[in-house]
Amino acid sequence: MWSLFISFCLGFIFCKALPSLRHRAFARFMSYFYSTVDPSFVAFKKKIFGDIVKEKPRRPGSSELRILEVGVGTGTNFQFYPDGCHLVVVDPNPYFESYYNANKAKFPNIKTQEFIVAKGEDMEMVEDNSVDVVVVSLVLCSVGDCKKFLQQVLRVLVPGGKLYFMEHIREWDSDKHSMKQRFQDCLTWLQIWPALFDGCELNRETHEVLKSAGFTKVEFQKMYTP
Ligand SMILES: C[S@@+](CC[C@H](N)C(=O)[O-])C[C@H]1O[C@@H](n2cnc3c(N)ncnc32)[C@H](O)[C@@H]1O
């Protein structure tokens, strides 16, 4: 019991005090996570991102669909992108790049450019009205300034463009799952979960932030992941 407690404390201090080691460890963890993930989780993601293949380019004079994925991580969403599209990616953690490149090599049908190391809030290098689709998956839980992030998304999207998102949020069923809510709140308020998982907060209500961000229309469904 004591050794578990000491390992936990050391892990917590390590994650708080050494951000670059934490970033490196997180990139490795995410790569491991996706190597063991259940196929039902991929099927679940497909329900959300499956329609991206039907999107059409909207930029005047362009025949190529341009997609921006913010917080791309190891690059787990290539499988949802259509042949011949042009993918731009942004992520603040440079340790994801090698995992991303390894995944990218499996999808020669997708045109990519360099991995841009930046936060979504600071992606000024991506031009205004330059992409047809923006994708974020499991990112807004750890973004420092979601409002600024979403303003940047609105800026880079061409008029009529779409943001596809999948985010985990605070448990919403207070009647059935109030314990779970308390657990999520505690792990977040005590900074345990954010320290271990690169800033991730379990109790965000990201759908509310999205509703007030200034998009013409926001559609979402709350679902439990398999
Ligand atoms: C849980 S991982 C998800 C990675 C990938 N999107 C996926 O679905 O597998 C969270 C990702 O968000 C990135 N991230 C964290 N803060 C960010 C920010 N402010 N702007 C953009 N990306 C951010 C992390 O570096 C990490 O790649």
Assigned domain for 9 exists: yes
Assigned domain for 200 exists: yes
Mutate to test the pocket of ligand 1, among 117, 139, 165, 204 (most ligand atoms within 8 A of CB): 139
CA of 3 to the centre of ligand 1 (A): 32
- For residue 21, the model assigns a pLDDT of 86
Assigned domain for 58 exists: yes
Residue 12 has pLDDT above 70, yes or no: no
The C-alpha atoms of residue 209 and residue 183 are separated, in whole angstroms, by: 22
Assigned domain for 225 exists: no
The C-alpha atoms of residue 168 and residue 108 are separated, in whole angstroms, by: 30
91 lines ligand 1 (CB under 6 A): yes
CA of 136 to the centre of ligand 1 (A): 8
Assigned domain for 198 exists: yes
194 lines ligand 1 (CB under 6 A): no
pLDDT in tens, 92-129: 999 999 999 999 999 999 999 899 999 999 999 999 99
Atom nearest to 91 CA in ligand 1: 22
Q: What is the DSSP string of 45-70?
A: HHHHHGGGGG----STT--S-EEEEE
Assigned domain for 203 exists: yes
Give the total number of structural domains in the chain: 1
CA of 2 to the centre of ligand 1 (A): 33
% of residues, the chain, pLDDT over 90: 87
- CATH of residue 99: 3.40.50.150
pLDDT in tens, 198-208: 999 999 999 99
Q: Output the average pLDDT for the chain.
A: 93
Assigned domain for 154 exists: yes
The C-alpha atoms of residue 138 and residue 154 are separated, in whole angstroms, by: 19
201 lines ligand 1 (CB under 6 A): no
Assigned domain for 217 exists: no
48 lines ligand 1 (CB under 6 A): no
Domain enclosing residue 83, as ranges:
2-211
The C-alpha atoms of residue 105 and residue 215 are separated, in whole angstroms, by: 34
User: Is the CB of residue 134 less than 8 Å from the CB of residue 153?
Assistant: yes
139 lines ligand 1 (CB under 6 A): yes
